[in-house]
Structure 1
Amino acid sequence: MPEQQPRPGGGELAFYRGDLLALTREWTSLHDEELRRRAVKAAADRDISALVSLTTAYLSHAGASGVLTSPHTVAAYGRGVRQFLAWAETQAVSLLRPGRHEGQNFVNALLAEGRAPAGVSQRVAAASCLYRALRWAGATDATPFQDVRVPRDPTPGLVKRPPYTDDELHDVLQVADVQARLLLLLTAHGGLRISEALALRWEELDEGARRLLVTSGKSRKSRVVAMSTSLARAVRDYRVLYGPGGTEQLNGLRTTSPDRVFRFADPETARYHLGKAFQVAGVKFRGFHPGRKYAGTRLLGQVKDFGRVAAHLGHESVDTTRKGYAALPIDDLKGDLAGW
């Protein structure tokens, strides 16, 4: 069965979901015995494309989000399944009859390579999903990841992957073009995930009222986000050039519909454009999350309220904000205690 790649960077999300539904039906339309036969054959042949396809079909059919599973999640699970299968090949692991220690062996091998526990957990989630898909298809009863344990990483997320500094952002914003400037401020001031920024539509931006509406948040949750003064000005400058009726035409370069703010929807394309600004500024580009962490850390320093910061960043749990996105200075109480 040929593998169909999700298209997070092309067309509209509706097309992606349609492709995901079509892929799922390639498996769910089969009679139970044929479904089992194809899954068994894919495992016996170590057919990576077919096994990734089966996992994706299971994820979009029986997963928590179904066909609304994000392109990012689908791609991440695909990578994780491929990595597990590559390891299983080198260790001559029987995919349908793995030994009871194989799941933990996989974890230990990744840790021995120096992989961070968080990354190992992501790969285990993908491999575990592969086995749920194989059980769903009736190909095996094996549960090699049922009792697997990944060590907890005691190093705080802000220490492992710190936010950008004020000076770094200043230097990049000094040389960034209007597009890179808007991208950076949407993450570093608006606190948006890059997928949320790239999905924005013009009607969702109100720079006059200094607010925007996120309709493609994690778990499909919408939220209203307040804009900083700098972000509102960046939106205004970008709209003058590239908004409806703007002075510059981008339709010939678009891979998205004209009502979308950005002409591309692929995070890798955004990484390329923003990375150029960082390179010119002489600042190391460490991805988009350090921008969100900057927003969380700076906002927490002002409002001293993890709940409000979590709402700004779109976190369902305050613990997520506390563990990896915002922290108060270690001497935060110094001023409060000064008069004691």
Structure 2
Amino acid sequence: MTLAVYQADALTQLREWTNLHDDELRRRAVQAAGEKDVNALVSLTRAYLTQQGQSGVLTSPRTVEAYALGVRQFLEYADTQAVNLLRPGRHDAPGYVAAMLAAGRKPAGVQLKVAAAGCLYRALRWAGATEADPFRDVKVPKDRTPGIVKRPPYSEDDLHDVLEKAGVHEKFLLFLTAHAGLRISEALSLEWEDLDETARRIHVRSGKGRKGRIVAMSTSLARAARHYRALYGPGGPEHSDGRRATPGTHVFRYGSKQTARYHLDKAFRAAGVPFRGFHAGRKYAGTRLIQQIRDFGRVAAHLGHESVDTTRRGYAQLAADDLKNDLTGW
């Protein structure tokens, strides 16, 4: 339902621009760029993504919001540095990159901001406002630190301590991320029919890139799923006020990632473990599986990675951990 509403809003915003005659479309885009009208330029970028983006109207709301934020941040820089958006100088785009790096932003984050600014210029060219493409040849330094070092997984002890303090909802959510390796968006989108505790399978209907997959449950996760369904599933016991804990078809009562983060953070604080986000649980699933089965292809399929290289770069912890055993006794 949320995605359907978002798509309807995206189409409405698209039509606000595409219903214009080409000359009027160009005039409004030129005016917005000249005045550095943030709201209008963000709207234009959203419209461009909806019509011309790789996924079109199916572009995820999270991606669109990330681009919108990046456009706002670039426009703030352009305003303070008096950048002419329609006729940018050859040093303006590299200067933006240098300013972000000098402020301490990591290369991966800078790359995302450059992608958003580049999308703004594609939108302006789409509207006929300019031919400028200042970010085409901009280079962002690569971060050579392995992903597993920058964003390590939770440890076995971390998860054990948190699971002892977590409530039923939080415990089940933690198992879904740390054993099934689900992204938080995938976990919160689950419906009751997607869980098959008997066969120990989870049907992820729309993962990253709108790709579905079947994910195996661990023994602990299947047990937690059965317990969770008994309490909160269809036909389960009702609260004193007559409301079910998870009304409708969705498994979780959480309506957003922020709400889920709030509740899981409480469990981590109760256990005295720093909460480092949901992805650290997913990292736990990936690194433990790699150590256990040593097959990047199978682990990539479990995590829903499109490329095995993603698994290898972000989840490979074999070299450091394996050598400890081999070096024993040296």
Q: Same fold (TM over 0.5)?
A: yes
Counterpart Cα distance in 2 of 1:326 and 1:230: 24
Deviations 1:147-192 (A, max 9, x none): 0000011100110111111111111111111111111111111111
Residues 70 and 49 of structure 1, relative CA distance in 2, 3 Å threshold: same
Q: Is residue 53 from structure 1 mapped to residue 40 from structure 2 by the alignment? A: no
Partner of 2:103: 113
The one-letter code matched in structure 2 to 1:91 is: Q
Q: Is residue 34 from structure 1 mapped to residue 1 from structure 2 by the alignment? A: no
1:140-159 pair list within 5 angstroms: 140-159=130-149
Contact 1:157 1:323 (8 Å CA) reproduced: yes
Q: Is residue 231 from structure 1 mapped to residue 252 from structure 2 by the alignment? A: no
Moved more, 73-82 or 320-329: 320-329
Counterpart Cα distance in 1 of 2:27 and 2:16: 14
The one-letter code matched in structure 2 to 1:21 is: L
The one-letter code matched in structure 2 to 1:26 is: E
Partner of 1:139: 129
Residues 334 and 47 of structure 1, relative CA distance in 2, 3 Å threshold: closer
Number of residue pairs the alignment of both structures matches: 327
Counterpart Cα distance in 1 of 2:64 and 2:215: 27
Counterpart Cα distance in 2 of 1:113 and 1:121: 14
Q: Is residue 14 from structure 1 mapped to residue 9 from structure 2 by the alignment? A: no
Contact 1:117 1:151 (8 Å CA) reproduced: yes
Contact 2:229 2:236 (8 Å CA) reproduced: yes
The percent of aligned pairs where both chains have the same amino acid is: 68
Q: Is residue 172 from structure 1 mapped to residue 157 from structure 2 by the alignment? A: no
Give the SS at the match of 2:214.
strand
Contact 2:17 2:25 (8 Å CA) reproduced: yes
Deviations 1:29-68 (A, max 9, x none): 2111111111111112211111111111111110001111
Gaps of 5+ in 2: none
Q: Is residue 202 from structure 1 mapped to residue 174 from structure 2 by the alignment? A: no
Give the SS at the match of 1:330.
helix
Deviations 1:309-338 (A, max 9, x none): 111100010110111123214363787999
TM-score (norm: length of structure 2)? 0.94
Counterpart Cα distance in 2 of 1:101 and 1:215: 45
Partner of 2:236: 246
Counterpart Cα distance in 2 of 1:210 and 1:281: 29
- Corresponding residue to 2:279 among 272, 289, 297: 289
Deviations 1:128-151 (A, max 9, x none): 101100110111111010000000
Give the SS at the match of 1:225.
strand
Deviations 1:176-214 (A, max 9, x none): 111111111111111111111111111110011111000
Give the SS at the match of 2:322.
coil
The one-letter code matched in structure 1 to 2:71 is: V
The one-letter code matched in structure 2 to 1:234 is: A
Residues 184 and 303 of structure 1, relative CA distance in 2, 3 Å threshold: same
Partner of 1:263: 253
Give the SS at the match of 2:215.
strand
Deviations 1:110-130 (A, max 9, x none): 000111100000111111101
The one-letter code matched in structure 1 to 2:205 is: T
The one-letter code matched in structure 1 to 2:322 is: D
TM-score (norm: length of structure 1)? 0.91
Partner of 2:289: 299
The one-letter code matched in structure 2 to 1:33 is: D
Give the SS at the match of 1:79.
helix
Contact 1:131 1:142 (8 Å CA) reproduced: yes
Gaps of 5+ in 1: 1-10
Counterpart Cα distance in 2 of 1:194 and 1:244: 23
The one-letter code matched in structure 1 to 2:271 is: A
Contact 2:177 2:281 (8 Å CA) reproduced: yes
Deviations 1:190-243 (A, max 9, x none): 111111111111111001111100011111111000001111122112212221
Contact 1:214 1:222 (8 Å CA) reproduced: yes
Q: Is residue 214 from structure 1 mapped to residue 231 from structure 2 by the alignment? A: no
Give the SS at the match of 1:212.
strand
Counterpart Cα distance in 1 of 2:261 and 2:238: 22
Contact 1:293 1:326 (8 Å CA) reproduced: no
CA RMSD of aligned residues (A): 2.0
Counterpart Cα distance in 2 of 1:264 and 1:241: 16
Q: Is residue 126 from structure 1 mapped to residue 116 from structure 2 by the alignment? A: yes
